[in-house]
Amino acid sequence: MGCARNDVDSEELAGRLAAQGWELTEDGESDVVVVNTCGFIDAAKKDSIDAVLAAADSGAKVVAVGCLAQRYGEDLAAQLPEAGAVLGFDDYVDISDRLDDVIAGRPLVPHKPTDRRTMLPISPVERPEAAKSLSLPGHADENLGRPASGPRVMRKRLVGGPTAPLKLASGCDRRCTFCAIPTFRGSFVSRTPEQVLDEARWLVEDGVKEVVLVSENSTSYGKDFGDVRSLEALIPRLGEIDGLERFRVAYLQPAEIRPGLLETLLGTPNAAAYLDISFQHSSASVLRRMKRFGSTDAFLALIERARVISPEVGIRTNVIVGFPGETEADLLELERFLSDGRLDAVGVFGYSDEDGTAAAGFDDKLDQSVIDERVERITAFAEELTAQRAEDRIGQIIEVLVEDIGPDYVEGRAEHQGPEVDGTTMVEGFPPGSIKIGDIVRCEVVETDGVDLIATPPIGHG
């Protein structure tokens, strides 16, 4: 359930289980079902609980892992007896033994959640050594529990196709007042460049053409190595991997995007002309209450610098509306940013209290009806603007990575379209059978459907 980071964690769990002789099933005839939950916001929590309940209906034993399980532990186990076990991240190393326990009916004591930020030193440069004694999901190739012999990468792909996420780091040191993720994901820890590159090569060997680097905060990569420019050094090395046709970096923090990093992200061969930037809002007063930095004008200046380097760069973001104390003036400022920024994709979320966050204790909360109205308003505004932005691309020559082919369609994504979260491109007009999944096809945009594009073979462009 949840984000691409959870997808990587699921594939690590699958790799561990496969190495211990477990067999993945697709027909529903399972001894045990493992649900990797999401604990981000209320809607994601509900989806995760529904998935556990649906799995229990199959008659199999059910194990809940992931962020919801880590965040609530024993409380979740008490409220969700349908789960045979609720396991935290520290159980991942011995996941095979834990499933044996569940099948045998041996009782497991759910973990008592703690603030995982307290498990590592405050100073980032002291963390790499200390992190070796922790179980960090997605870091199995570096941390405890790594078999002395076995697969080069502790990961088994659960979903095929030419695109795959690759974990760059885990945790976060930021203290955004609306976000609880650092409390259950812990402090920021980078994976080593060698392990990132090795896993990227492994993915390419498995048929992957595009890699998406994911983390809670990719722009902090390497600060625990004592080098804040580590991402700038890593990106060109990714561009040199044979067979890796394209890669992109997700989850960028605007306050940490240095000019040199921006130039590297948008100037490296095979790096997609794409920026996934977590703006969250643009009103300076709202951002201060969120314990974030920036303003409408500062963010617009960043976008302008990006477009000087790469005029057709794709830019996506998420924004939160209805934050405590948000005024009509703040909302108008956000609308100004969205209008002038000409973004390609915008996710709009209504504020909700999250356990353990500073904002949950703020005064001047807005009524839920006001939050809902603002979500509807900004969503409609963003959809109109992003559709216009898509129309601006009519006549452009784009390169589409083909991801799906049906009897009467070919679908893929251009550089400015991130997997699953952005729009797609329908490719038309090529001879039947001339395109296969994983191909990168040069096309001309001829039409749009909202944020989605329709493209055909280029005419008159050489």
In the annotated binding site, the residues are 3, 38, 67, 172, 176, 179
Residues 6+ apart with CB under 8 A from 315: 274, 275, 277, 303, 306, 341, 343, 344, 345, 416
Tokens of 413: 């994504």
In angstroms, the CA 95 to CA 13 distance is 7
Task: Look up residue 96 and give its two tokens.
Answer: 């095979």
Which residues have C-beta within 8 Å of that of residue 160, sequence separation ≥ 6? Answer: 207
Residues β-bridged to residue 274: 314
- Which of 255, 156, 161, 146 has the alpha carbon at shortest distance from 191? 146
Residue 88 exposed, middle or buried by CB count within 10 Å (0-12, 13-18, 19+): buried
Cα separation of 7 and 165, whole Å? 8
CA–centroid distance for 166 within its chain? 10
If you ran DSSP here, which 8-state letter would residue 212 be given?
Answer: E
Q: Which residues does the annotation place in the binding site for [4Fe-4S] cluster?
A: 3, 38, 67, 172, 176, 179
Q: 138, 67 in Cβ contact below 8 A?
A: no
CA distances from 381 to 225, 285, 303, 338, 454 (A): 42, 22, 19, 8, 23
Are residues 344 and 248 in contact, defined by beta-carbon separation less than 8 angstroms? Answer: no
Distance CA 90, CA 61 (A): 20
Are the C-beta atoms of residues 188 and 220 closer than 8 Å to each other?
A: yes
